[in-house]
Amino acid sequence: MYAIIEDGSHQYRVHEGDRIRVDRRPGKAGEELVFSKVLLIAGRDGGPTLGLPEVEGARVAGKIVNQFKTKKIIIQKFRRRKNMRRRNGHRQPYTTVQITSIAPAP
């Protein structure tokens, strides 16, 4: 059984037990996180259940594994002959979530 969920502006195909990396969500390791925007559920008897745009009553639950930042990337801007140089770094924060259950609509 799998589901397609939307979190932020990203869509993820998840099975139970999968680990996904989503944009930073508040919470500490071990806390539960619920994704209520389920776009599709498939893998049970019969065909997939499509949402228009969401499957009503369906939810996907997960557990926060850790919070982390990615490797630093350097952003440089340069304009020749204008004495303009800018250098910035950026580390994007992410949350790793392990999917614990997929609950279809009752």
| pLDDT, tens digit (0-9, with 9 covering 90-100), for 7-60 | 999 999 999 999 999 999 999 999 999 999 999 999 877 788 888 889 999 999
Buried b (16+ CB within 10 A) or exposed e, 43-60: eeeeeebebeebbeebbb
| pLDDT, tens digit (0-9, with 9 covering 90-100), for 59-97 | 999 999 999 999 999 999 999 999 999 999 999 999 999
Whether the model pTM is above 0.85: no
CA distance 14 to 97: 11
Two tokens, residue 64: 């926060």
Single-letter amino acid, residue 14: V
Smallest CA-to-CA distance from 102 within 23, 42, 52, 20 is with: 42
